[in-house]
Amino acid sequence: MRLIVNGETLLLPAVTDLPSLLAALDQRGDRVALLVNDDVVPPEARPNHVLRDDDRVEILTFAGGG
């Protein structure tokens, strides 16, 4: 599948949904917030969220800030 993840185009053959995307990118699900095509996808909705080619996924986390 071809996805635009945090602005970068990635080819990820094994990825079909959000949990498999997080696994492929080595991200802990409880430490990231997800935005798919500008929609917030809460943790409980991730398993059923099927991804499609060219979906834009933003994976965000906390950083230091004022």
Partner 1 sequence: MTHHPDPTDAADALTLGEQTFTSRLILGTGKFASAAGMVQAVKASGAQLVTVALRRVNRERPDDDLFTPLAQLDGVTLMPNTSGARNAREAITAARLARQLCDSRFIKVEIHPNPHHLMPDALETYEACRVLAAEGFWVMPYMPPDPVLAKRLEEVGCVSVMPLGSAIGSGHGLAAADLLRLILRDSRIPVIVDAGLRAPSEAAAAMEMGCGAVLVNSAIAVAGDPPAMATAFAGAVRAGRLAYRAGLMPRGTAAVASSPLTAFLSTPRAEA
- Give the footprint of partner 1 on this chain (CB under 8 A): 6-7, 25-27, 31-35, 38, 40, 42-43, 58-66
Q: How far is the CB of 42 from partner 1 (least distance, A)?
A: 6
What is the smallest separation between the CB atom of 23 and partner 1, expressed in angstroms? 13
**CB-based contact 3:57 (threshold 8 Å):** yes
Q: What's the rounded Cα separation, in Å, for the pair 49 and 25?
A: 17
Q: Looking up tokens 């053959």, which residue turns up?
A: 13
Distance CA 57, CA 31 (A): 15
Closest approach of Cβ 22 to partner 1, in Å? 10
